[in-house]
Structure 1
Amino acid sequence: MRWEVVGWGALALVLFAAEALAPGAFMLWIGIGAAAVFVLVAVFSDIPLLWQVVAFVLLSVVSIQCYRHWGRGRDRQSDTPLLNRRAEQLVGRVVVIDQDIVAGKGRAKIDDAFWVVAGPDLPAGTRVRVVAVEGMTLQVQPV
């Protein structure tokens, strides 16, 4: 076996392993470029090293662009669009504030967490509806 063939095969395997250990769909495409050069060098034995590196760079860029164009889902609709937006999941919910809203700020316990609430001045124990979210502050109105 020639050292170029072994080198490109080893590089492809290292890149695939790096993708498996730290997934992010980036090393995979560069590994595909290395695997393609491995096949080229195995089939054609007289390719100079400089052209092997050029082919590796070009094939890596082409594989990344193919992924970006065809591989990524375009505007995929989720059945749970608010999955990782916990505060926005609370809009419309009726809760009881546990700390007076004074000067527009107060606190409410919702499920297992305390949330900062903003709205008109209200005493603790008042039922309010979450109407909006600004950052991590819930905007509320009395029910």
Structure 2
Amino acid sequence: MSNAAIVWAVLALVLIGLETLAPGIFLLWFGFAAAGVFLLVLLGLPLSVVMQTLLFVIFSFVSVAVYFRYFRGKANETDHPLLNQKNQQMLGLVLILESAIVNGHGRVKVGDAFWQVHGPDAPLGSRVTVIAVDDGILKVGLAD
């Protein structure tokens, strides 16, 4: 194996490895480009250093284009887009007051947790709708 092949193999492994430390910076795709040049050099093609570098640049553009075309945004497609976004899940919920809203402050129970609410004064047991969530406090309006 030639020195050039070893250099490209090490570069490919380093770039792919660095992606684990800095995800999302395209280092994986540059690593694939370096691996492509490594394969060409390994096959014994007589490529000058300038040509190897030029091929690396071209392969980098192609691999990043493949990422943008086929992989970008695919992870965001889900049948549960609000998973782990409790604030967004709460919007529109109709809840029953566990303690009356007095001077704009009250409390509701959501699942097994109690949440503070801010909204118009209302008696115990009133139905309220969550209209916003601010720093863990539910902003509510009367549901009826």
TM-score (norm 1): 0.73
Instruction: Deviation per CA, 1:86-124: give whole Å up to 9, x if none.
Output: 12212323142547442x45554534655453321235x
RMSD: 3.2
What are the equivalent positions in structure 2 for 1:4-83 lying under 5 Å apart? Answer: 4-20=4-20, 23-24=23-24, 26-72=26-72, 78-83=78-83
Does the aligned pair in 2 maintain the 1:130–1:138 contact within 8 Å? no
Does the aligned pair in 1 maintain the 2:101–2:119 contact within 8 Å? no
Q: Secondary structure at the match of 2:55?
A: helix
Q: How many residues align?
A: 141
Q: Secondary structure at the match of 2:39?
A: helix
TM-score (norm 2): 0.72
> Higher mean Cα deviation, 33-42 or 133-142?
133-142
**Unmatched tracts of structure 1, length 5 or more:** none
Matched, 1:87 2:87: yes
**Unmatched tracts of structure 2, length 5 or more:** none
Percent identity, aligned pairs only, is 38
Does the aligned pair in 1 maintain the 2:100–2:107 contact within 8 Å? yes
1:46 and 1:99 map into 2 onto residues whose CA distance is 82
Does the aligned pair in 1 maintain the 2:100–2:125 contact within 8 Å? no
Decide whether aligned partners of structure 1 residues 98 and 128 sit closer, same or farther in structure 2, where only a CA change above 3 A counts: same
Offset at residue 74 of structure 1 (A): 6.2
